[in-house]
């Protein structure tokens, strides 16, 4: 499979077909059983994983931030910067402004102070998308971003993803098992 810079690729398949596995390999989190893969000019292996994750925004299929954590939406989105920032560095005012800009773009600015555990499924997906975008990724991976949310939220998330791609021209891989979201 070859994906050119700026392309939007949708991958549809049944549960268990390997869609998530493909994204985790691209993101440097999964392990190749055989063959080889080149992502952003780097061979996918144990040494390249960290370098790849700094350049790839990934929206996971399942919530990957514990909703019991005492952090709000704005802080959750800032977690997306830590790959570039480092865990021991404090975010600058400019980085917080980047977070606020992305929250506004995804329609979550008004919920920036809400605890992450108090969001609906669609709101959480918007926050997860913002967290991936604030990394300023070269590749944007979305793993079933409309799963487990209501039909209206599905339509809104799909429109948001289209808007992001049209505005930023980020190479995007979108996987789903549902070819016809509600």
Q: Give 7-66 pLDDT, tens digit per residue.
A: 999 999 988 888 999 999 898 888 888 888 889 988 888 788 888 888 999 999 877 777
The yes-or-no verdict on residue 181 having pLDDT over 70 is no
- Over pLDDT 90: what percentage of the chain? 62
Q: How far apart are CA 18 and CA 22, in angstroms?
A: 6
CB contact at 8 A, 95 and 133: no
Q: How much is the CA Rg of the chain, to the nearest whole Å?
A: 16
Backbone angles phi, psi at 104, to 5 degrees: -65, -45
Q: How far apart are CA 13 and CA 28, in angstroms?
A: 22
Q: Who has greater pLDDT, 131 or 84?
A: 131
* Mean pLDDT on 135-163: 93
Cα of first residue to Cα of last residue in the chain, in angstroms, is 29
CB contact at 8 A, 54 and 84: yes
> Which residues, at least 6 apart from 57, have a Cβ–Cβ distance to it below 8 Å?
80, 132, 133, 135, 137, 139, 140, 141, 170
At 39, which helix (H) or strand (E)?
strand 38-39
List the structure tokens of 156: 């809104």
- pLDDT for the residue 118: 93
Q: How far apart are CA 50 and CA 10, in angstroms?
A: 25
Q: How far apart are CA 139 and CA 33, in angstroms?
A: 23
Q: How far apart are CA 27 and CA 48, in angstroms?
A: 10
Domains and CATH numbers, the chain: 8-176 (3.40.50.300)
């Amino acid at each position: 499979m070859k994906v050119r810079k700026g392309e939007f690729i949708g991958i549809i398949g049944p549960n268990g077909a390997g869609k998530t596995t493909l994204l985790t390999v691209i993101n440097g989190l999964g392990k190749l059983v055989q063959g080889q893969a080149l992502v952003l000019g780097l061979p996918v292996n144990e040494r390249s994983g960290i370098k790849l994750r700094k350049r790839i925004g990934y929206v996971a299929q399942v919530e990957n931030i514990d909703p019991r954590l005492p952090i709000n939406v704005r802080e959750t989105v800032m977690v997306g910067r830590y790959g570039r920032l480092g865990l021991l560095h404090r975010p600058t005012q400019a980085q917080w402004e980047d977070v606020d800009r992305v929250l506004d773009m995804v329609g979550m600015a008004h919920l920036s102070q809400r605890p992450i555990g108090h969001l609906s499924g669609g709101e959480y997906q918007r926050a997860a998308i913002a967290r991936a975008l604030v990394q300023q990724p070269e590749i944007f991976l979305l793993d079933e971003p409309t799963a487990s949310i209501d039909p209206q939220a599905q339509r809104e998330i799909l429109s948001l993803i289209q808007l992001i791609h049209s505005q930023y021209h980020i190479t995007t891989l979108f996987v789903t098992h549902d070819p016809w979201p509600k």
